[in-house]
Amino acid sequence: MASIDYPLEHPAVKEEEFSFSNHLYEWVSTVDHKRLGLMYIVTALLFLVIAGLMATVIRLQLAFPNGHVVDPDTYNRLFTMHGTTMVFLVGMPFVAGLSNYLVPLMIGARDMAFPRMNAFGFWIFLFGGFLLYFSYIGGGGLSGAGSAPDVGWFAYAPLTSRAFSRGASTDYWILGILVAGIGSIASAINVIVTTLSMRCPGMTLARMPMFVWVMLIDSWLIIIALPPLSAAQIMLLIDRFLGGNFFNTQNGGSAVLWQHFFWIFGHPEVYILIFPAFAILSEVIPIFSRKPIFGRPAMVGAVAAIGFISLGVWAHHMFAVGMTSWSNTFFTASTMIVGIPTGIKIFNWTATMYGGKIRLLTPMLFCCAFLFQFLIAGLTGIMLATGPFDWQLHDSYFVVGHFHFTLVAGLVFALFAGMYYWFPKVSGRMYNEKLGKWHFWLFLIGVELTFVPMHFLGFLGMPRRIYTYEAGRGWDFWNLVATSGLIFQIPATALFVWNLLISSIKGERSGDDPWDAWTLEWSIPSPPPEYNFETIPEVRSSRPLWDLKNPNDPDWRFE
Amino acid sequence: MTRKRGFRVFFAAAAALQAFAADLPERRIANIFKPLATPAQSEYDIAMLVFAITGIIFVGVAGLIAYTIWRFRRPEDTAEHQEPPQVYGSNQIEVAWTVLPILIVFVLIGVSARVIAAVENASPPQAALKVTVIGHQWWWEVLYPDYNIVSANEVHMPATRDGRNATYLQLQSADVIHSFWIPQLSGKTDLIPNRTNFMWMDPKEPGVYFGNCAEYCGTQHANMMLRVVAEDPAAFKQWTLRQQSRVVDDASVNGGRQEFESLACINCHNINGLGQASAGSKFGPDLTHLASRQTLGAGVLKNTPENLRRWVNDPQVDKPGCLMPSMKLTPDELTKIVNYLETLR
Amino acid sequence: MATTLDTHAPPAVGEWHLPDRGTMGVIFLIVTESALFTIFVVAYVVYIGRSLGGPYPKDVLDLPILASICLLSSSVTIVLAEHALKHKKVGLFKIWWLATILLGLEFLVSTGLEWRKLIYEDHLTISTNLFGTTFYSLVGLHASHVIVGLIFLSLVMVVSLFGFPIQTQERRVKFLSWYWHFVDAVWIVVFTVVYVIGR
C-alpha cells in the first residue's frame, strides 16, 4: 500500500506565505471538517481542564467536615458550572468533533454535507461557551457583583424564578446553553445528511463502520431531544422576563413540569454523551483483537434500541416527586429495559476479544478498563432504576458516584482510547506508548479512588450538592479518600497533555496505517490531505482495507 | 398549690423529661442499610435482592471479561502475522444473552411494582398521627393540626416495636423544592410548592434519627438538616402536652419579652401569647417552645445558651446567606433576649 | 482503492443513488422544529383548564377563520408558484409567489389584530394567567416561524424582481416551500389545540 509522506504543514501553502496572521485566518475561516473537528476537540479539552479545576476545588472543600476553602455561594456556583461545562462544553463538542473529523473519512467523502453550516455550528457553540463564562464577570448576584449560575446544572424551578434567583446568573445559564445548543443541532443535522447522502459507492448503510452508525443514531437523538431543552429554556425566559407562568407556582404553574421537560431532554442527553464511547470501542476493540466486531447487526440494533428506549425513561429522575405508583412502575420498567441492549453491547465487545489476539497498547487498555467500569456503572444504574431503592439513593452521593462512573470511568476512558488511537492519523506521528501507559494506570487509580467511595457516601445518607457537612455523620473518611484521587488524576491528565504536545512535535512518523486497521480513514495519508481521498473509493464490505489486505479471505464472501 | 410552687414542679418535670429525652440514642449515622421503619425496611429488602442479582451479574460478566483479556492477550513485540479466525457473530448466542437479561429484568420489575404500590398507596387509618411539614429556605416548619402544635426542624413521633403507630406526613413547600429524607426511616419525598405530597413512617426503635434536605434549594441547602425524634408513646404524649401548654410567664424575663416585641423579632417569629395572635409561623420558625428543641438554625448549632447567644447575635457567622439578619443588638439587649428565649420550654 | 485484486469479486456497485442532501437537510430541520413545537403544545394542553383566574379561552377567543383560510391557501399558491417555475413561466411564478407572501402577511396582520383585542379589550397578557402564558407562547412561536418564512419568501421575491434567473433555483425554492408547508401544518395543530380543544 503506497504511503505518501506529506509534510505537516498544509501542502498548498507556499513557504514564504506562511505567517501567523495567514495561519490564523485559515483556521478562523475554515470550513474543512477536519480542522473544525480538531477545533471542537481542542476546545472541549480546554473546557475539560477548566471544569476539572473546579472539581478540584470542590473536592478540597469536601475533604474535611466544616470545610472553609470556599463560601457556600462560591461552592454552589462551582458545582453548577462544573456540571454545566462538562455536559455542554465538553461532552457535546466531543460528539460534534469526533463525528465531524471521522465520519467523512470513514464513508469515503471529501467533506461533510454542509461545510459552511459546520463552521457556523462550531462558532456558535464557542460563543455559547463564552456567554456562559461571561457570567462570572457580567452576571449579577444578589449584591450585583459578578456571579455565575448557581442553580445546579438542571436548574429546577422555582429556584430559577426571579423570586429566588435574582440577578442575571440564571439568564446566562439559559442563554449560553440555548446558543450552544443551536450549534449541536446544526452539527447533528449535518452528520445525518452526510451519512445518508455522501457515502462512497458500495457503502450501503449496512456496510458503514460501527462508528458511523453510532454517531448517526446519536445525531437523531440530538435533533429530537435537544429541542425540549430549548423549549423549556424559552419558557423559563418568558417566565423571568415577561412574567409568564409556565413554572410559576404562585399562579397555577407547575414546578414539576420543568422537571418533565428538562429530563425529556436530560435523559437522552446522557445517552447522547455516551454514544461516542460506544462508537470508539466498536472501532478500537476489533483492531486490537484482530477480529471483526462480534454480531454487527445486533450491535447496530442495540444502539438503535438504546436510542429509542432512552426517549421513554426520563421520569426515573423524578421518583421522589410524588408521581402515581403507575408512573413510578412504568419508568422503573422502561429504565431497566434500556439496560438490556446496553448489556448486550458489553457482551458483544467481550466476544469480539474472545478468540482474538489482544494487543494491550494504550488505546486497548483504556477500552478494557471501560468494559469493567461501564459494567459497574450500568449495574448501579439498575439499582437506581429500581423505584423503591431509588427513593433512598436519589439525590444522594450514590447518584453522583453512578454518573461519574458512566461519564469519567466510562466516557472519558473511551475518549482517551479514541484520542490515542486516532492521534497518528490526525498528526502523522505516534504518541509515546510508555507515557500513555503511565497515564492509564495513574488515571485509573485516581478515578477509582474518587468515585467508588461516593457510592458508600450515598448509602450513609449524604445528600448531593452540599457545600459542607458536620463531623460525626460517618462521611469524613470516604470524603477524604475521594479527594485523594486527585493526587493521581491531576498528574495523569498532565501526562496526557504533555504526551500529545511532545509527540505532535517529536513523535516518530506513523505512516498511513500504524495499527493495521480496516476502515477507510487508514487508507489515506497521515495527516489527511485537505481533499481526503485522491479518488473516491468503492467498497464491497464493511472492512474495505481487510478485503484489500486479505484478498484470499475477503469479508464480502461472508457478509 | 401556689403559682411559684407550680412552676417548680413543672420545671422539675420538664427537666426530668429533658433528661429522659437525652437518653434517646442519637442515630447520627443514617445508614440506609440499617432500616428501623417499614418503608425503609421494604426498600432495604428490595435493595438486597438487587444487590444479589447485580452482584451475580458482575462476578459473571467481569470474570468473563477478565478471563478473555488474560487468555487472549498477546505480547506487543511478537511478530505474529497470522490473524485469528474471523468470527462474525452467532445468532444463538445473541438470543441467549438477550433473553436471559429480559427474564431478570421482568423479575425486578415485578418486585418493584409490588413495593411501590405498598409504600405509595398506603392510606392512613383514621387515628393515625398526622404531621404537616412545610419546607422553607432553609428550615422545616412542622405542624400537628390535630394537636394545634407548631414547631420547627424536628419531627417528634411515637415509636413502637410493632410499628402500629405510623405517622403520616403531608409535605408542602413555601418557596422552592426541598426533600424530606431520614434514611433509616424511609426513602425521600419532595416538598414542592403548589403541591401536597404524602409519606409515612413507623419508627420501630426510639432514637433521634438524622437526615437532611435532599433537593438543592439554594445557598444553605447543606445546613437544612433534619431530625426525627421517635419516643415511646408515653413520652411522645408528654411532649405533645408540653408543646400545647402555655408558656409560663416568668416575670424575671419581662425585659427580654418586651425587647422581643419591640425590636422587630416579632415581625418574623411567632411566640404564642405575644403581640397579636397569629396562627403558626410567619417568615421564620415559631419560637414558642424554642428551648425544647435540640438544635438551632435547622441543625447548624446545638441548642445551648451560649450557642443561642451566638446565633441571635449574628446568624450569618454559622449559616452565611440564611435569611435571618443580624439585628445588631447591644450586649445588654442580647442577654435579655437570650434569657427570655431560654424560658420558652 | 478502486482496484480489484480478486477478479472473481463482484462489482462494487451497479447504480449508486443516494438521497439529495438538500432534501435530507430540510426534512431533518422539520423534524427538529417539530420536536420544539411539540413541547409548547404539550405545555398548552397540560395547562388547559388550570388557570387560576380569567379571562378564559371560551370568553375571549374567536375562531380565526379568515386568517386560517389565508394561511392554508398560501400553501396552495406556493404549489402553483412552484408549478409555474417548473414550466419556466417566471412571470406566473412571480404572481403566485407574491400571492403567497400577501396571504402570509394577512395571517400575521390578523394575528396582530387578535392580540391587540385580547390585550387591550380583554386584558389578557402573557403574564395574566396560564392561558395567557401558553397562548401567547405557542401562537407566538408559530407566528415567529411565519415571519422567518416570509423573510425568505420576500428575499426570493426581491431577487427575482431584480432579474435574477430564479428558474435556475427550482430545488432551493422547493425546500423553502416545504418549510412553508411545515409552518402551515403546525398551524393546523395549533388551531385544533387552541381554538377547538382548548376552548
Q: Give the minimum alpha-carbon distance from A518 to chain C in angstroms, rounded to a whole number.
A: 13
Residue range(s) defining the domain that contains residue A96: 33-557
Beta-carbon contacts below 8 Å between A and B = 286
Q: What number of CA atoms fall less than 13 Å from residue B159's CA on the CB side?
A: 20
Q: How far apart are CA A74 and CA A72, in angstroms?
A: 5
More confident call, B328 vs B10: B328
Beta strands in chain B (DSSP E): 26-27, 73-74, 129-136, 139-144, 149-152, 154-158, 167-173, 178-181, 189-191, 197-201, 207-213, 225-231, 295-296, 301-302
Q: How far apart are CA B69 and CA A175, in angstroms?
A: 47
Domain CATH code at residue B277: 2.60.40.420
Measured torsion, CA atoms of residues B149, B276, B308, A71, in degrees rounded to the nearest 10: 90
Which among A76, A298, A550 has the least Cβ separation from residue B89?
A: A298
Q: Burial letters for B214-224: b for 16+ Cβ neighbours within 10 Å, e otherwise?
A: bbbbbbbbbbb
In terms of Cα–Cα distance, which of A35, A520, A40, A33 is closest to A283? A520
Q: Cβ of C1 and A533 within 8 Å?
A: yes
Helix axes B38-72, A362-385, angle to 10 degrees: 160
B283 at interface of A, judged by CB pairs closer than 8 A: no
Which among B28, B112, B194 has the least Cβ separation from residue A329?
A: B112
Structural domain includes residue A411? yes
Residue C90 has pLDDT above 60, yes or no: yes
Q: How far apart are CA B153 and CA B142, in angstroms?
A: 7
Give the model's pLDDT for residue A485.
97
**Please, are residues A427 and A507 in contact by the beta-carbon 8 Å criterion?**
yes
Q: Quote the cell numbers at residue A485.
A: 484521587
Instruction: Count Cβ atoms below 10 Å from residue B273 Cβ, excluding itself.
Output: 11
DSSP C66-111: HHHHHHHHHHHHHHHHHHHHHTT-HHHHHHHHHHHHHHHHHHHHHH
Local structure of B143: helix, strand or coil:
strand
One digit per residue, pLDDT tens: chain A, 559 residues? 444 555 555 555 455 556 888 889 999 999 999 999 999 999 999 999 999 999 999 999 999 999 999 999 999 999 999 999 999 999 999 999 999 999 999 999 999 999 999 999 999 999 999 999 999 887 655 555 568 999 999 999 999 999 999 888 899 999 999 999 999 999 999 999 999 999 999 999 999 999 999 999 999 999 999 999 999 999 999 999 999 999 999 999 999 999 999 999 999 999 999 999 999 999 999 999 999 999 999 999 999 999 999 999 999 999 999 999 999 999 999 999 999 999 999 999 999 999 999 999 999 999 999 999 999 999 999 999 999 999 999 999 999 999 999 999 999 999 999 999 999 999 999 999 999 999 999 999 999 999 999 999 999 999 999 999 999 999 999 999 999 999 999 999 999 999 999 999 999 999 999 999 999 999 999 999 999 999 999 999 999 999 999 988 898 887 6
Residue B163 has pLDDT above 80, yes or no: no
**Please, are residues C81 and C96 in contact by the beta-carbon 8 Å criterion?**
yes
Q: Quote the cell numbers at residue C35.
A: 420536536
State yes or no: chains B and A have 3 or more CB pairs below 8 A: yes
Structural domain includes residue B280? yes
Where does the pLDDT of residue C86 fall: very low under 50, low under 70, confident under 90, or very high at 90 and above?
Answer: very high
B89 at interface of A, judged by CB pairs closer than 8 A: yes
Give the model's pLDDT for residue C4.
39
Q: Cβ of B72 and A355 within 8 Å?
A: yes
Give the model's pLDDT for residue A8.
55
Mutate to test the interface with A, among B87, B172, B226 (most CBs of A within 10 A): B87
Residue B1 has pLDDT above 80, yes or no: no
Give the model's pLDDT for residue A211.
98
Give the model's pLDDT for residue C107.
97
Considering the domain C63-197, what is its CATH architecture? Answer: Up-down Bundle (1.20)
Chain A stretch 56-95, residues whose beta carbon is closer than 8 A to a beta carbon of chain B: 71-73, 76
Which among C5, C12, C43 has the least Cβ separation from residue A538?
A: C12
Q: What is the mean pLDDT of residues B267-282?
A: 75
Structural domain includes residue B237? no
Residue B291 has pLDDT above 90, yes or no: yes
Q: Cβ of C127 and A113 within 8 Å?
A: no
Q: How far apart are CA A78 and CA A71, in angstroms?
A: 11
Which among A189, A246, A252 has the least Cβ separation from residue C43?
A: A246
In sequence order, what are the beta bridge partners of B230? B157, B207
Residue range(s) defining the domain that contains residue B302: 251-342
In sequence order, what are the beta bridge partners of B296? B301
Structural domain includes residue B102? no
Helices (H), A412-530: 413-427, 433-459, 476-484, 486-506
Where does the pLDDT of residue B74 fall: very low under 50, low under 70, confident under 90, or very high at 90 and above?
Answer: confident
Q: How far apart are CA C60 and CA C49, in angstroms?
A: 14
Q: What are the pLDDT digits (tens) for B189-224?
A: 999 999 999 999 999 999 999 999 999 999 999 999
Q: How far apart are CA A20 and CA A241, in angstroms?
A: 44
| Per-residue DSSP letter, B146 | T
Q: Give the minimum alpha-carbon distance from A163 to chain B in angstroms, rounded to a whole number.
A: 9
Q: How far apart are CA A237 and CA A231, in angstroms?
A: 10
B77 at interface of A, judged by CB pairs closer than 8 A: no
A324 at interface of B, judged by CB pairs closer than 8 A: yes
Pairing of strands B129-136, B167-173: parallel
Where does the pLDDT of residue C9 fall: very low under 50, low under 70, confident under 90, or very high at 90 and above?
Answer: low
Where does the pLDDT of residue B287 fall: very low under 50, low under 70, confident under 90, or very high at 90 and above?
Answer: very high
Instruction: Count Cβ atoms below 10 Å from residue C18 Cβ, excluding itself.
Output: 14
Task: Using the Cα atoms of residue A472, residue A477, residue A478 and residue A484 in order, give the sign of their dihedral.
Answer: positive
Structural domain includes residue A374? yes
Structural domain includes residue B312? yes
Q: What number of CA atoms fall less than 13 Å from residue B128's CA on the CB side?
A: 19
Indicate the number of domains in chain B.
1
Which among A189, A238, A253 has the least Cβ separation from residue C32?
A: A189
Rounded mean pLDDT of chain A? 94
Structural domain includes residue B257? yes
Helix or strand run (H / E) with residue B117: helix B91-120
Give the model's pLDDT for residue A199.
96
**Please, are residues B33 and A459 in contact by the beta-carbon 8 Å criterion?**
yes
Q: Measuring CA to CA, how many Å separate A358 from each of A363, B31, B49?
A: 12, 43, 36
Q: What percent of chain C is modeled with pLDDT above 90?
A: 89
Q: Give the minimum alpha-carbon distance from C135 to chain A in angstroms, rounded to a whole number.
A: 11
Q: What is the mean pLDDT of residues C80-102?
A: 96
Mutate to test the interface with A, among C7, C39, C51, C138 (most CBs of A within 10 A): C39
Domain CATH code at residue A209: 1.20.210.10
Q: How far apart are CA A57 and CA A427, in angstroms?
A: 34
Residue B12 has pLDDT above 60, yes or no: no
Indicate the number of domains in chain A.
1
B230: amino acid identity, one letter: A
**Scanning the structure block, which residue is given the C-alpha cell 459473571?**
B60
